[in-house]
Structure 1
Amino acid sequence: MSASATSPGRLLRLTLQIYTKKETPLEEGEKFSREYLSKVASIHARNGIEIYQMVYTPAPFREALDGMNRRNKRGWVIDDHDITVEFYFRSFAELTRVNQDPEFQALQAAEGPYVNLVHTVAAKVQRRHVT
């Protein structure tokens, strides 16, 4: 996280909900996520992304949560995506810089065997005030 992320101001958040390809074995998907995160973090930092986080939630985790949900009669709707990614940034210029970064473009090309692009959901960009 950069120093400016701790200073007061406005941050924008973009959330992506990503599905992995069904044929991807669980262990392989987890390994890919760890390696991807370690590579992409430095790319985002040098292009001005304030905060980047990735949460990997494979099917067995969601099934366990759904079981708990039913047992406790919570009535929750369990999201069915495998990965949630959040970007926090000051302006769209940072996203543009990331998308134009050749190293990031190469990294995205490596997603092919793992990421199901058809069902990726981009949530609206929301403001977050940092104090």
Structure 2
Amino acid sequence: MTEESPPESAHHVRHAVVWIGGLAALVQISVFTFPVAVASWRQEPWVRELLANHFPAIVGLPSAALASFLIIAAFEARFDRIKMRLGTFVEFTGAAGPIVLWILCFTAMSMGIKLVW
């Protein structure tokens, strides 16, 4: 039995999700990162203290979550469905594949942020 290819509308939905993720990145930069950068440039003391003490939580973790989403969305848009198999015991198909891969990406990025901070 051959596996059916997804309908053309599924490809449009996947591309739309990638574009929405890109727009979310722009919104994050314009709404959160840019105002904090401007306040930091003005050398406002509360911003400098907040950024110095909590930079990984303020900027790092949201950026890691967004980057993980963009990676998974791009993989899914480019390579169709994501399926994962861990040994012979566990197989992730359907929505579970991207979710598990996002968790792995986010965890790896979060651990990297923790290691370098």
Q: Give the TM-score, by structure 1 length.
A: 0.31
- From the two aligned structures, give the one with the greater strand fraction: 1
| Larger Cα-atom Rg | 2
Q: Give the TM-score, by structure 2 length.
A: 0.34
